[in-house]
Amino acid sequence: MKKVLVTGGAGFIGSHTCVELVEAGYLPVIVDDLRNSHERILAGLTRITGRDLPVHRVDCNDPEAMERVFTAEGPFHGVIHFAAYKSVNESVNEPLKYYTNNIGSLAVLIATAQRHALRRIVFSSSCAVYGQADRLPVDETAPAERTNSPYGFTKVACEHLLRDLAVSDPAWRMVLLRYFNPIGAHPSGLIGELPVGVPSNLVPYVVQAAAGRREALTIHGTDYDTPDGTCLRDYIHVVDLARAHVRALAHLDDERSANCSVFNVGTGRPASVKEVVDTFERVTGVRVPVRMGPRRPGDVASIYADTSRAAHDLGWRSEHDLGHALRHAWQWQQHLEAEGSDASIKRSGA
């Protein structure tokens, strides 16, 4: 069985990817110190996959700890690097934290991998690198350094690092995946997103407002140049996104492909904030209390993906629609409610 190192494998996207890796016959080896996850996600993974996956609770920035993981578990067929901080707002207030963890962990990982002759990586990038694209849907040839947050710059910097590495050493094989807006949860209701405190992302806020944990969702801006005045985004079901990683690993095996490839991972279908709320109410039958508010600083009006490269080169496209993703996000919230847990669960590492 091919072992794949999954940094950040206990996180939102990482945990769903571990499920799909097991389904596809890989053995994921998780490195995650649970700084933004929780034991419950590991327990959910065990229940879904029927296996106790190897988990190393170490900091990816710690070179000695990473060396020990490679020595104990290697050789790996490849690595998928999710571990990073991801809050745009927080990155504005604490840029050093973001540059240190997001770029530092990739540098440590690469150095360790090279020592162990591992040169295959799938990297979590973001549509944040595009900022407001000139043409929509945006494709991978668009300028990809227009971001305006420290978080976004860490992704731009990591992409540069990886591309430079691919040029300097053609033995490296890498896939950079630019995720759009991942939402939803596993249909089992056993794993999902664990937003810390008051969510800043739309869907976690919608489900918490619907559950009565928040007074009302504020729609940030209704005067955009979009069909209903609210922003357009490309919301992708996390299970579809997880499956794209399995395809990306297979792509690394295809020696005919370039040694560094970049793919958008979205649905290609834009949805407005109002459409998200309406769809949520339709598929769940639960009302979302809403109020209209001003624009949120830093938001782009519209961004959605041209997904033709991923369809052509990876043979991947999204299967779930917005309604599925929102229903699954609601099921996950209900699962948390049933456990009687606070939605802002204390992290074990916190």
Catalytic residues: 151
Interface positions, 64-103, toward ligand WQD (CB under 6 A): 86, 88
Among 101, 147, 149, 279, indicate the residue that binds ligand NAD (CB under 6 A). Answer: 101
What binding mask, one character per residue, do residues 42-71 give for ligand NAD by CB under 6 A, x or -? -----------------xxx----------
User: CA nearest 196: which of 20, 350, 33, 13?
Assistant: 350
User: CA nearest 122: which of 78, 90, 180, 75?
Assistant: 78
Among 26, 82, 98, 205, indicate the residue that binds ligand WQD (CB under 6 A). Answer: 205
Among 26, 82, 205, 316, indicate the residue that binds ligand NAD (CB under 6 A). Answer: 82
Size, binding site for ligand NAD by CB under 6 A: 25
Dist. CA 14–CA 52, nearest whole Å: 16
Provide the 3-class DSSP secondary structure of residue 320.
coil
Among 299, 313, 321, 337, indicate the residue that binds ligand WQD (CB under 6 A). Answer: 299
Could you tell me how many helices (H) and strands (E) the chain has, helices first?
A: 12, 13
User: CA nearest 293: which of 210, 209, 236, 230?
Assistant: 230
Which residues, other chains included, contact 118 with Cβ-Cβ below 8 Å and sequence gap of 6+?
A: 5, 70, 74, 75, 76, 78, 79
Residue 129 interacts with ligand NAD (CB under 6 A): yes or no: no
Residue 172 interacts with ligand NAD (CB under 6 A): yes or no: no
Q: What are phi and psi of 122, to 5 degrees?
A: -110, 125
Provide the 3-class DSSP secondary structure of residue 186.
coil
Least distance to ligand WQD, CB of residue 31, Å: 20
Nearer to ligand NAD, 33 or 159 (CB): 33
Are 285 and 210 in contact by the 8 Å Cβ rule? The answer is no
Least distance to ligand WQD, CB of residue 155, Å: 7
Interface positions, 4-33, toward ligand NAD (CB under 6 A): 8, 10-14, 32-33
Residue 235 interacts with ligand NAD (CB under 6 A): yes or no: no
Residues at the site binding ligand WQD, with contacts judged by CB under 6 A: 86, 88, 126, 128, 181, 200-202, 205, 217-220, 231, 233, 273, 296, 299
